[in-house]
Amino acid sequence: MSTRLRFSYSDLHQTIADGVKKIITSDFQFDVILAIGGGGFIPARILRTYIEKPLIAISLARYHPDEPPSEVPHKIQWVEGVNNMITGKRVLLVDEVDDERTTLAFAIGELLAENPAELGVFVMHNKIKVKKAEFPDAVKHVFVGKDIEDVWVDYPWDARDIIQHELDAAKGGILEVDEAEAKAAYRN
């Protein structure tokens, strides 16, 4: 059996709205929202409802279809063509979850090489756990929608059956499930 957290779409939208309040009451301002795809696409798009800035994307994958699995994420899409929105600009990088921080740390390291004026980070969820990397000193603002415990999260956008997912979320969202069954029911 495996413990799963299942949040409804509405929960997550609200978590982002709550996180936005932390940005607005901070001294951090930014010129552009940079989503880390795939996971950051939906949080970044929701965030833009509350803070209207141009929205661009990079796309990283831990597993590239044409290559063996790797600890270092692959760049599916990088910043070519939008460097002028990053170099010398204040960028808010958005992802869905800070888990072991592997993808986030990789993205931050690579983006700092593009010389943004400032690089802030927004994550919808932060898992309370030991991370594989610290945020570098250059990243002075890290905003978290909500801290969550270190269990597997099934996000609604990964659900093959969204009606069942939302029912599970409405019942409290924490479940003990058969691992193989959960793997079949979700993309991840």
**Catalytic residue IDs:** 99
Regarding 68 and contact with its own copies (CB under 8 A), the answer is: no
Closest CB to its own copies among residues 160, 183: 160
Regarding 42 and contact with its own copies (CB under 8 A), the answer is: yes
Q: 149 is written with which tokens?
A: 């415990």
Regarding 114 and contact with its own copies (CB under 8 A), the answer is: no
Regarding 48 and contact with its own copies (CB under 8 A), the answer is: yes
Q: 113 is written with which tokens?
A: 């090489």
Single-letter residue type at 102:
T
For 5, the 3-state DSSP assignment is strand
> Distance (Å, rounded) from C-alpha 23 to C-alpha 158?
27
> Distance (Å, rounded) from C-alpha 16 to C-alpha 41?
13
Instruction: Point out which residues bind its own copies (CB under 8 A).
Output: 8-10, 13-14, 17, 35, 37-38, 41-42, 44-46, 48-50, 52, 54-57, 59, 61, 65, 76-82, 85, 156-160, 162-163, 166, 186-187
